[in-house]
Amino acid sequence: MTTHEAEIQKLQPTILSFVRDIPNLCSLAGLACTILAIYFSILGVYHAAMIGMIWAVAFDWADGLVARRMKGRTGKDRAFGGQLDVLIDIVSYGVAPAILLLSYGKFEPIFLVGAFLMLAASAIRLSYFSVFGLAGGSKYTGLALDNNSIILVFIFLFEGVFSGGLFSVILYISGLGLAALNVSQIKTPKLSGNPINVYILAIYTLGITCIYGWKLL
């Protein structure tokens, strides 16, 4: 190793040093909620899964709000946080809804198609955003993935109104519809960028938690 390489390695931060960054801790908290959502989806405890899904969105929005208000974050901090956020998004808004659909469909082969399309749309959507960013600096191209969880959690409130078979079809169509919107050319505002919207989501999250918590009881 040359002296120059040794100096670069010495200056390079450690991997776990980024965990001390509060926005990254929020992102990881959201990932923990997503793991719980996936776990309870597999077990068929869907009301608990819904709570995990909506809290994952809440932490996702919170990390951006905290990051914008923190002072002293370096360019590396922001770059690392952006990469971490994208990787967690594919799990929270791609893998978790896909597993929810598979589980509710009793893992029948036909539901594999819908799960794949939902996950593929999420991966394509995130890849596109990583390359091109916001359209005009203020709007997303395609429906932002966090809206998927917000909408699915709301749709699931009506699960008891329909038979299991019919609701699985509704969930399937809803998932495919959201996937189509994710990769469409529609322009949607960056809702998480407005602090007022963050507070509205907080109220929605608490309301959803109370409703599904009551159902669990």
Locate the domains of the chain by residue range: 19-216
55-92 pLDDT, tens digit each:
999 999 988 778 777 776 777 888 888 899 999 999 99
114-143 pLDDT, tens digit each:
999 999 999 999 999 999 988 887 899 999
pLDDT of residue 154: 97
Alpha helical stretches, state H, the chain: 3-11, 22-43, 46-69, 75-90, 96-104, 109-132, 146-155, 164-182, 195-216
Mean pLDDT in residue range 93-116: 97
pLDDT of residue 4: 53
Q: How many CB atoms lie within 10 A of CB 102?
A: 19
pLDDT of residue 2: 60
pLDDT of residue 99: 98
pLDDT of residue 187: 93
pLDDT of residue 64: 77
pLDDT of residue 8: 52
DSSP reduced 3-state for 140:
strand
- pTM value > 0.85: yes
DSSP for 151-173, please give it.
HHHHHGGGGGGS-HHHHHHHHHH
pLDDT of residue 77: 80
pLDDT value at 191 more than 60: yes
Q: Which CATH superfamily is domain 19-216 in?
A: CDP-alcohol phosphotransferase transmembrane (TM) domain (1.20.120.1760)
pLDDT value at 48 more than 60: yes
Straight-line distance from the first to the last Cα atom of the chain, in angstroms, rounded to the nearest whole number: 62
Residue owning tokens 């409703």: 211
Residues 6+ positions from 46 with CB-CB distance below 8 Å: 40, 100, 103, 104, 156, 159
Query: How much is the CA Rg of the chain, to the nearest whole Å?
Result: 19
Structure tokens at 159: 């699960």
Name the average pLDDT for the chain.
90
149-187 pLDDT, tens digit each:
999 999 999 999 999 899 999 999 999 999 999 999 999
Query: Which helix (H) or strand (E) element contains residue 188?
Result: strand 187-189
pLDDT of residue 7: 52
Cα separation, 180 vs 148, whole angstroms: 11
Structure tokens at 81: 């946080």
pLDDT of residue 10: 58
2-21 pLDDT, tens digit each:
655 555 555 788 888 787 88
